[in-house]
């Protein structure tokens, strides 16, 4: 592997850019695939390139080609979840999201709420969300959920999120609350982006307690991330053990 290729791969990972290293098993030629294109000595026909892009989006490492002639190793940055508001829902959602593989950050300028004893093992910022987002660039592996019910805190976070590539944006509040929120954000020139906001936040599971809302929110984030349908899983044959083992 050429030094320049290694340097490019490291740089893209540092930039949190999804990237795949493609290697021809016959002669060792290599290329890097990112969402913006293919770079390197190894060329792919349109069919293989389309497959490779799909596998990169699915975070998969696979063999490509009819003869398995190309090995594709995907490097995708861990997903980030930014919770705006150090509230009860965040206290339940943060540890669940960590178990699901997310890097979790809680942001709340209200120092009385944003305390380590309330959020152990979670990155905390007792600052305004738009100030934090200037330092932590939101990318396609980021989810943002606003939970404070305070437009002074939530709206600036949503403004930044709607102008980013964040794959998920959610906001707590009733339909009436969200209608008023849309008016405010529309006046900021963000009308075309408003359909990206999931509000009321979370799947409709029927729960009302903070932990139940947290479950519904995480479920929706995962659904959007993997483009799931949210339907009941069906299996005509086999046991749970078969399903877990992939048989």
Is the pLDDT confidence value at 240 over 60?
no
Q: Say if residues 73 and 61 touch (Cβ distance below 8 Å).
A: yes
pTM of the predicted protein model = 0.81
Query: Do 92 and 120 reside in the same domain of the chain?
Result: yes
Q: How many domains does the chain have?
A: 2
Sign of CA dihedral 121, 127, 130, 131: negative
Q: Is residue 234 part of a domain?
A: no
What is the arithmetic mean of pLDDT over 61-87? 94
Query: Do 50 and 93 reside in the same domain of the chain?
Result: no
Query: Do 93 and 58 reside in the same domain of the chain?
Result: no
Q: Is residue 246 part of a domain?
A: no
Query: Do 55 and 97 reside in the same domain of the chain?
Result: no
Which run of H or of E encompasses 20?
A: strand 19-24
* Mean pLDDT, rounded, of the chain: 92
Q: Tell me, what CATH number does 151's domain have?
A: 3.40.50.720
Domain that holds residue 91: 80-228
Query: Do 48 and 69 reside in the same domain of the chain?
Result: yes
Q: Is residue 139 part of a domain?
A: yes
238 or 173, which is more confident: 173
* Structural domain ending residue among the three candidates 75, 104, 129: 75
E-assigned strand segments in 28-181? 30-34, 37-40, 62-64, 70-75, 80-84, 103-107, 123-125, 142-146, 168-171
Query: Do 60 and 116 reside in the same domain of the chain?
Result: no
Q: Say if residues 217 and 205 touch (Cβ distance below 8 Å).
A: no
Query: Do 94 and 10 reside in the same domain of the chain?
Result: no
Query: Do 56 and 103 reside in the same domain of the chain?
Result: no
Query: Do 67 and 103 reside in the same domain of the chain?
Result: no
Is the pLDDT confidence value at 98 over 80?
yes
Q: Is residue 165 part of a domain?
A: yes
Residue 168 CB contacts under 8 Å (≥ 6 apart), including other chains: 142, 143, 144, 145, 198, 220, 221, 224, 225
Q: Say if residues 30 and 40 touch (Cβ distance below 8 Å).
A: yes
Which tens digit of pLDDT belongs to each residue from 139-152?
999 999 999 999 99
Give the closest residue to 170 by CA, choosing from 79, 84, 77, 94: 84
- pLDDT band at residue 227 using 50, 70 and 90 as cut-offs: confident
Is the pLDDT confidence value at 234 over 80?
no
Query: Do 172 and 51 reside in the same domain of the chain?
Result: no
Is the pLDDT confidence value at 66 over 90?
no
Query: Do 102 and 52 reside in the same domain of the chain?
Result: no
DSSP structural state of residue 58: T
Q: Is residue 153 part of a domain?
A: yes
Counting residues of the chain whose pLDDT is more than 90, the rounded percentage is 81
State whether residue 195 is helix, strand or coil: helix
Is the pLDDT confidence value at 30 over 90?
yes
Query: Do 51 and 93 reside in the same domain of the chain?
Result: no
Query: Given this model, what pLDDT does residue 226 score?
Result: 87
* Residues facing residue 125 across a β-bridge: 107
Query: Given this model, what pLDDT does residue 239 score?
Result: 53
Q: Is residue 233 part of a domain?
A: no
């Amino acid at each position: 592997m050429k030094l320049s290729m290694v340097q490019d791969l490291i740089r893209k990972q540092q930039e949190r850019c999804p990237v795949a290293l493609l290697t021809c098993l016959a002669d060792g030629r290599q290329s890097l695939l990112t969402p913006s294109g293919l770079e390197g000595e190894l060329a792919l026909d349109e069919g293989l390139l389309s497959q490779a892009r799909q596998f990169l989006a699915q975070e998969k490492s696979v063999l490509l080609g009819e003869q398995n002639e190309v090995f594709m190793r995907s490097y995708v940055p861990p997903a980030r979840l930014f919770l705006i508001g150090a509230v009860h829902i965040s206290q339940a959602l943060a540890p669940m999201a960590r178990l699901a593989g997310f890097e979790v950050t809680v942001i709340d300028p209200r120092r009385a709420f944003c305390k380590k004893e309330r959020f152990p093992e979670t990155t905390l910022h007792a600052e305004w969300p738009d100030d934090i987002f200037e330092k932590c660039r939101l990318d396609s592996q980021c989810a943002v959920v606003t939970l404070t019910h305070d437009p002074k805190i939530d709206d600036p976070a949503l403004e930044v999120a709607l102008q980013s590539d964040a794959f998920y944006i959610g906001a707590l509040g009733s339909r009436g609350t969200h209608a008023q929120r849309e008016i405010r954000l529309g006046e900021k020139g963000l009308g075309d982006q408003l359909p990206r906001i999931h509000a009321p936040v979370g799947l409709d599971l029927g729960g009302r307690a903070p932990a139940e809302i947290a479950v519904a929110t995480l479920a929706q984030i995962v659904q959007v991330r993997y483009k799931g349908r949210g339907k009941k899983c069906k299996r005509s044959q086999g046991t749970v053990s078969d399903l877990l083992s992939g048989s």
